[in-house]
Amino acid sequence: MDRILTYDSTLRDGEQCEGVSLSLEDKLRIVARLDEFGIDFIEGGFPASNPKDIAFFQRVRTMSLKHAQVAAFGSTCKKGVAAADDQGLADLLASKAPVVTIVGKTWDEQVTRALLTTLEENLRMIGDSVAHLKGHGRRVVFDAEHFFDGYKANADYAMACVRAASEAGADSIDLCETNGGALPHEVGEIVAAVAAALPGQQLGIHCHNDSGCAVANTLAAVRAGATQVQGTVNGFGERVGNTDLLTVVADLELKMGCTCVGEDNLRDLTSVSQFVAEACNLSVPAHHPYTGASAFAHKGGLHASAIARFPEAYEHTRPESVGNVQRMLVSELAGKASLVAKARGLGIRLDEHPEKTQAILDDIKAREALGYSYETADGSLALLLQSHLGAYRPHFTLESFRVIVDDHEDTGALAKDAMSEATIKIHVGDRRFVATGEGAGPVGALDNALRMAIVAFYPPVADMELVDYKVRILDENVGTDAITRVLITTRDKHGSWGTVGVSENIIEASWNALVDSIEYGLMRIEAPPS
């Protein structure tokens, strides 16, 4: 198997993604996780560019990394400045990072119009910078910026730039598809030409996803001779993002017979994706290849039936090979096979009750016609199934609830002083309890009141936390009479689950989803009343 080196730029290029700002501790945690996963090189940022990155390179030296090497990122020396006198290169060396990555111009128009220098001086800057860093014992990666645009505009000069880096001793020359506009056939042809011109030189590839081709371009580059792939976790990056390094790793390992992190580590792919997303305060897109929640989700009845007998028909690889799971979605498109499979995943043996399966399916379809959606509401679906099977007994019943919104100042839509108060009357067996809860909004107030009312009877409720709340208006054309669907995600120390509520009244829909969230949470752990 071909060994392909992995170079992660999440901490530098990834942090340029809109909405991402990593703390020092976030960056160190990501380094530890990527090292554990088996990434070869982790780019830490710009030494001396800001106090956070200065502290990062100081702290990362104290970490006992098992595999990865940390890279410091910078640029070639400035025009008219000797490499030995350049402050930027001095900062790179002062970081004590074992790997130094420097970016240099390879597009003649960039040299003359952006750097405002001559083509000859740019070649001097590249060669002298690489040689200077190599003279200090560093592994040097030369990032050939705008290489593909440069090659198409002036192939001779673009080649002269990478040849200067190669002759100066660069360990890897990584060709950068900076604008994200190239197509796979172009990338493959150009990388092959460079490989032929520089035999024995390690080549890498760094792509952006502006035309949706970053992963395909990266794979094309590997086929043409690149042996180092750059990217970011989940493709986070500026504009539309960088190459998704995790997708590339999976494709190389599972589709192209290459070795990157190895079969065992590949099973952590999904957890790495989720870990980094959480650190970046972003979510993994549901439809993300390999690692998304919908990557191995099946909705159509025919699909579900076929998968039970022949999973390869609709799954290009085994979900467990990348740490994901197969999911069966229940909707109006579902058949009996998908419903039975979904129920089995919830711990309910619907196959033991074949006489009830069709009735349950008909009920689900009728409910979805009214606005319910069970695709992400496993908790509500499980309660519905148990009701049909006669196995569901509510842990509590509602007598009534009331919600008041108290706003003391008319400051408009951005007011922060409005508070909601909810009072509920609950029965647990023959006991009655009244509780009042407050919250920034009516749903939060209801949630707090409900927990207060029943926690004495069901202590595990204290460990349940509402983590997501989504509202969708299903028919906006009817104004305030529109049907509202509320989806709630709840978690405890055992995991998370979703529930759904539907009503013309948003508060009632929210209450129904809240009740299901608590009922299912208690059912999961089979909590008896205290």
Q: Each residue of 91-147: pLDDT tens digit?
A: 999 999 999 999 999 999 999 999 999 999 999 999 999 999 999 999 999 999 999
Question: Which residues have CB under 8 Å from 397's CB, separation 6+?
Answer: 426, 427
Residue type for 207, please? C
Mean pLDDT of 458-485: 77
Mean pLDDT of 298-324: 70
Cα gap 424→431, rounded to integer Å: 14
Kindly indicate the confidence band of residue 242, based on its pLDDT and cuts at 50, 70 and 90.
Answer: very high
Cβ(379)–Cβ(346) below 8 Å: no
The pLDDT, as a whole number, for residue 440 is 80
For the chain, the average pLDDT equals: 88
Tens digits of per-residue pLDDT, 418-452? 688 989 998 988 889 898 988 888 888 888 999 88
pTM, 2 dp: 0.69
Identify which has the larger pLDDT, 470 or 165.
Answer: 165
Cα gap 144→399, rounded to integer Å: 70
Residue 296 has pLDDT above 80, yes or no: no
Residue type for 147, please? F
Q: String of b and e for 406-430 (b: at least 16 CB within 10 Å)?
A: eeeeeeeeeeeeebbbbbbbbebee
Mean pLDDT of 466-470: 83
Cα gap 342→2, rounded to integer Å: 40
Backbone angles phi, psi at 179, to 5 degrees: -85, -10
Q: How far is CA 22 from CA 35, 129, 233, in A?
A: 18, 30, 14
259 strand-pairing partners = 3
Cα gap 347→444, rounded to integer Å: 30
Kindly indicate the confidence band of residue 149, based on its pLDDT and cuts at 50, 70 and 90.
Answer: very high
Identify which has the larger pLDDT, 183 or 320.
Answer: 183
Cα gap 439→448, rounded to integer Å: 7
426: left (phi over 0), alpha (psi -120 to 50) or beta: beta
Residue identified by tokens 């099973």 is: 267
Cα gap 426→83, rounded to integer Å: 76
Tens digits of per-residue pLDDT, 15-35? 889 888 888 999 999 999 999
* 249, two tokens: 């790793």
Residue 529 has pLDDT above 50, yes or no: no
Tens digits of per-residue pLDDT, 53-69? 899 999 999 999 999 99
CATH of the structural domain 396-457, one choice from 3.90.550, 1.10.150, 3.30.160, 1.10.12 = 3.30.160
Strands (E) in 277-326, as ranges, are 297-298
Kindly indicate the confidence band of residue 309, based on its pLDDT and cuts at 50, 70 and 90.
Answer: low
Q: Where are the domains of the chain?
A: 5-279, 297-365, 396-457
Mean pLDDT of 342-357: 82
Q: How far is CA 101 from CA 64, 67, 132, in A?
A: 22, 18, 13
Residue type for 378, please? D
Classify domain 5-279 at the CATH topology level: TIM Barrel (3.20.20)
Tens digits of per-residue pLDDT, 176-213? 999 999 999 999 999 999 999 999 999 999 999 999 99
Residue identified by tokens 């609709």 is: 314
